[in-house]
Structure 1
Amino acid sequence: MARVPAQQRRQDFIEAAVRVIAEVGIDGATTRKIAEAADAPLATLHYCFHTKEQLFFSVFEHMSVDILEGQTEALGGHGDLAVAAARIVRTTLEWSTQHPNYSRVQFDLLLWGLRRESKDEQWAERVYGVFTDPYVRILRESVGPNDDPALVEPLARVVLSIIDGLTLQWVSNPDTVRLQGDVELAATMISTYVSASRGAAQSVAAQARAAAS
């Protein structure tokens, strides 16, 4: 039997974990069942992932990489914060509808992380960092001359909240046409908010110039 590279084996276990959780739920997703679904020895799973927490965390890491891989340039707003934020929402929700098992399982995993007893009390917080950190980077690179850089981090958190809410709604009722309409509404809301922030900043700047003259 040909030896499977460790990186490929890790990916096999991640995909198997998602399939098993989608089929039997988080409580039934034992490492033995996951190894069987990956057609690999249980010992190999424990070699690649020392704990179930590491394996489940890697599911989120894979999601983040897969969503953003090769799309950094496309996601950039080229000097327009609102455009970049809207593109993140559109791109992520498009990925979510193309990967329904991941979309469903992520909520099971997050709630599991919040409920379980663990030495890693920041597990769920780190999960969100897997997504917010690259979103912050993309948005920061997209700040235009009239944008407020201080808006980047809270906007990234709000964008992720919109994505989570729309994903959960779609998982509950997979009406893709309705989802597309809601995504465009969210993009309009983001644009309106960023534009209002620009207007406020310009007003403050104008007042400062008037006071100095």
Structure 2
Amino acid sequence: MVVGRVTAQDRRQQLIDAAIRVAEREGIAATTTRRIAAEAGARLATVHYCFRSKQELLEGVLSAIITELSEAARGHVRPGHDARTLLHDGMRALWVIVEKEPGKQQLTYELTHYALRQPGMESFAQWQYETSYAACAAHLEGVAAAAGIVWSLPLPVLTRMLMTVIDGVVLGWLVDRDSLSAVAALDALTDLLATLAVQPNGAAHPNG
């Protein structure tokens, strides 16, 4: 039996997945490259070959989490639907992942605080939010294109508003696990966002 060689990209993904498991189980501070290597069944040298630093590996971890969430939301952007429907369906798809993988969501908050407290890693926290804002902006642009609307607020303002509320709702849910209240808050958010959808001529979209 011939076993194919593991590509560098596959090995990187294996190490990222291992890092997520270790970080969820033991916390960011305890997520050393040695523990990641052991979790992945790889040599320590392999970790250092695939990633130039622990920060680069953590960036891979965060990118994987953000990509999973953003792809879930974007998967519900379909032409022929109004903005309210697209926003609602995307938010519900995102929430399914939050409830299914709470450890990953907690990890994103831990990464922020860890980076802010580690000398030399301040730029990581900034990169984290810039990456999240970019993913959110891309989703809002996709919704606008599919629904044939424009946003009445500048995209950077709308993006920050949306991300700030989602951040708060998810963090609150991680504390109390009150899914009904969390979903109600997100539904209210999508209803509010839909009122900011206008037709290209400036008129309010009839269905949001």
SS of the residue 2:76 aligns to: helix
What corresponds to 1:172 in structure 2? 175
What corresponds to 1:21 in structure 2? 23
Question: What is the aligned counterpart of 1:72 among 47, 71, 74?
Answer: 74
Task: Name the CA distance, whole Å, in 2 between partners of 1:103 and 1:173.
Answer: 14
Task: Name the CA distance, whole Å, in 1 between partners of 2:122 and 2:181.
Answer: 37
Question: TM-score normalised to the size of structure 2?
Answer: 0.80
What corresponds to 1:162 in structure 2? 165
The answer to whether the aligner puts 1:187 opposite 2:208 as a matched pair is: no
Unaligned runs of 5+ in 2: none
- Counterpart of 2:57 in structure 1: which amino acid? L
Larger Rg: 1
Question: TM-score normalised to the size of structure 1?
Answer: 0.78
What corresponds to 2:125 in structure 1? 124
Assess, with a 3 A threshold, how the Cα gap between structure 1 residues 51 and 15 changes in structure 2: closer, same or farther. Answer: same
SS of the residue 1:122 aligns to: helix
What corresponds to 1:36 in structure 2? 38
Bigger shift: residues 40-49 or 126-135: 126-135
User: Deviations for 1:136-192, whole angstroms, at most 9, x for unmatched residues?
Assistant: 123224336664464322111111112211111121122333332332232233334
How does 1:59-138 map onto structure 2 within 5 Å? 59-69=61-71, 72=74, 74-75=76-77, 80-118=82-120, 121-138=122-139
In the TM superposition, what is the alpha-carbon distance from 1:71 to its structure 2 partner? 5.4
Asked whether the 8 Å contact 2:34–2:44 carries over to 1, the reply is yes
User: Deviations for 1:187-213, whole angstroms, at most 9, x for unmatched residues?
Assistant: 233334x26x88xx659xxxxxxxxxx
Assess, with a 3 A threshold, how the Cα gap between structure 1 residues 147 and 158 changes in structure 2: closer, same or farther. Answer: same
What is the number of equivalent residue pairs in this alignment? 198
Q: Which has the higher helix share?
A: 1
Asked whether the 8 Å contact 2:73–2:139 carries over to 1, the reply is no
User: Deviations for 1:64-116, whole angstroms, at most 9, x for unmatched residues?
Assistant: 22223375352357575554444443332222112222111111111111121
- Counterpart of 1:50 in structure 2: which amino acid? R
Assess, with a 3 A threshold, how the Cα gap between structure 1 residues 43 and 91 changes in structure 2: closer, same or farther. Answer: same
- RMSD of the TM alignment (CA)? 2.8
SS of the residue 1:74 aligns to: coil
